[in-house]
Amino acid sequence: MATERPDIQRVEGRLKKLAAKSLYKRGNAYSFDVDGQSMWFLTREPSWHPSSPFLAEGDRVELAVLNTPLTPTGERWVYALRNLEDDTVYVTHFAWQRTCEPYAATRIPPASEHRYILALSALLITLLVMGACIVALTGTDSASWFFLSGLCIGAWLLGTVPLYVMRWRWKAGRPTHRQRVTEAVYRCLGLGSPLAPNRPVRSV
């Protein structure tokens, strides 16, 4: 059964009562009011980091927001923000990493799979090298190292194959539910396709 797509609303206005908060392991959040509605905008990087969104009080913005308040106090979740002051566009992905709700967009930015695969490969290679060193120093049976290698290859395949299959599906026109949500967000702000946006987009 197809999951219902979330109601994504386009909101325009000026940022009021803007505040940045650190959520520690859950990233960072900007809270603000636009057009009389309270919003939450979650990002990975701390607000003082050069790659985090540059938001100032009173900035004119366009937002793609989930048209359902998710908190008891009625704040709405921001999918994407275009700052009209400097025409930069930010799309959230980090915010959806720990949720499986039907309104969640993709956990990682479109076409960024190889970044995660490189990190996983580096981690597993380090693990294998450390294992080889321990085997060489302690003189233990090399069978355990081969077992570790098998585990690492298994982990690599488990990490890599789903990422590339999902990317291939998206490119082939058969997106997953999360990918369809991301497409809807891009469409809401007129950014074109997530795989080939018509303007630079910053993933946060």
In this complex, which beta carbon is closest to other proteins, that of residue 48 or of residue 172? 48
SS3 content of the chain, % helix, strand, coil (to 5): 35, 25, 40
Site for other proteins, rule CB under 8 A: 18-22, 28, 30, 46-48, 50-51, 54-57, 59, 85-89, 109-112, 114-115, 194-197, 199-204
CB of 1 to other proteins, least distance (A): 31
In order, the DSSP letters of 64-111 are EEESS--STT-PEEEEEEEETTTTEEEE--GGGTT---TT---SS-TT
Pair 32, 15: CB distance under 8 Å: yes
CB of 7 to other proteins, least distance (A): 25
Nearest to 135 by CA among 123, 149, 124: 149
In this complex, which beta carbon is closest to other proteins, that of residue 30 or of residue 103? 30
In this complex, which beta carbon is closest to other proteins, that of residue 65 or of residue 182? 182
CB of 203 to other proteins, least distance (A): 5
In this complex, which beta carbon is closest to other proteins, that of residue 67 or of residue 112? 112
What are residue 94's DSSP bridge partners?
none
CB of 18 to other proteins, least distance (A): 5
Pair 191, 62: CB distance under 8 Å: no
